[in-house]
Structure 1
Amino acid sequence: MPDATAPEVMRASGLRVTESRAAVYAALRTRPHASADDIHTAVVAELPQASRQSVYNALNDFADAGIARRIEPAGRSMLFELRVGDNHHHLVCTGCGRVEDVDCALGHAPCLHPSDDHGFQVAAAEVTYWGRCATCAATAA
């Protein structure tokens, strides 16, 4: 539902529409790969009474409902994005921390086939590519 409104998305996922959740959704639309703290800062600018806990609750509710995706790069804060359901991957800059989406590496979901699935029915694979973005690489050179 890329063009759906926040209330439509929440209702379709069985979530109650609240002012705080709508503000969190709006912040996520313009801030892919944002941390909870980044989202809180954006929400408070629009909704000063929003608590940090209400933002965290909304993000977790969205992730649990499949509206948002949690990204957990090793050694970094958890990030959130609205791009869900397509099994894409991420590039993470080890210099500045920039995160970019990368479409599935090979073939159809789940993209990667383990050498031994140990009896699992693989539904998805997460790949994180680590390196330096062009700006950080140029600065280092």
Structure 2
Amino acid sequence: MTSTAASAAATDKWSAELRAHGRRVTKQRLAVLEAVDSAPHAGADDVAAAVRATLPDISLQSVYVVLADLTDTGLLRRIEPPHSPARYETRVDDNHHHAICTGCGRIEDVDCAVGHAPCLTPSDTHGMTIQIADVLYQGLCADCAANAGAENAAKTS
């Protein structure tokens, strides 16, 4: 599939999703959805930079408004890593989790470890019907671990 055909297919997909969620199809919404879809776990500033490639006059505030609206409608998922700005992704149809590198901040999806959503059984539900478990794994990615090992080896030499 050519990049033009792929872009048209993505636009058709997101247009249908917007309509299914009761939203008008606008160039701003489409640009934000396509930016987040092409760079999962992007922050609002990164989304705005990508959107400005096609809509140079869009304001950061407009991008924030669209991100909030698309998150409220369920087309985007907002994740909030510790000590980091919110990130957005289009993978909303499952109960997956995230692994975050504490060195470089890279975020990777982690599929549900065991069983069906919500993946974890709480010791006490406090009378709630639990629908989602949100687990955040933190550690060092392979690159940061290798760099840390090299730095430690250099210090001890």
The CA distance in 2 between the partners of 1:88 and 1:31, in whole Å, is 17
Deviations 1:80-99 (A, max 9, x none): 00000200000000000000
Is 1:73 matched up with 2:78? no
Paired amino acid for 1:85: D
Q: 1:129 aligns with which of 127, 137, 143?
A: 137
Q: 1:56 aligns with which of 64, 77, 80?
A: 64
Paired amino acid for 1:79: R
Secondary structure of the structure 2 residue equivalent to 1:104? coil
The CA distance in 1 between the partners of 2:137 and 2:144, in whole Å, is 15
Percent identical pairs in the alignment equals: 54
Instruction: Note the residue ranges of structure 1 that are not aligned, 5 or more in a row.
Output: none
Q: 2:120 aligns with which of 82, 100, 112?
A: 112
Paired amino acid for 1:40: A
Is 1:87 matched up with 2:86? no
Counterpart for residue 8 of structure 1: 16
The CA distance in 2 between the partners of 1:13 and 1:100, in whole Å, is 27
Paired amino acid for 1:62: L
Q: 1:103 aligns with which of 107, 111, 134?
A: 111
Deviations 1:64-118 (A, max 9, x none): 1110100011221100000002000000000000000000122111101111111
| Higher helix residue share | 2
Q: 2:26 aligns with which of 15, 18, 31?
A: 18
Secondary structure of the structure 2 residue equivalent to 1:92? strand
Paired amino acid for 1:23: A
Q: CA RMSD in A?
A: 1.3
| Higher gyration radius (CA) | 2
**Runs of 4+ in structure 1 over 3 Å off:** none
Tell me the TM-score normalized by structure 1: 0.95
Q: Which is worse superposed, 90-99 or 19-28?
A: 19-28
Tell me the TM-score normalized by structure 2: 0.85
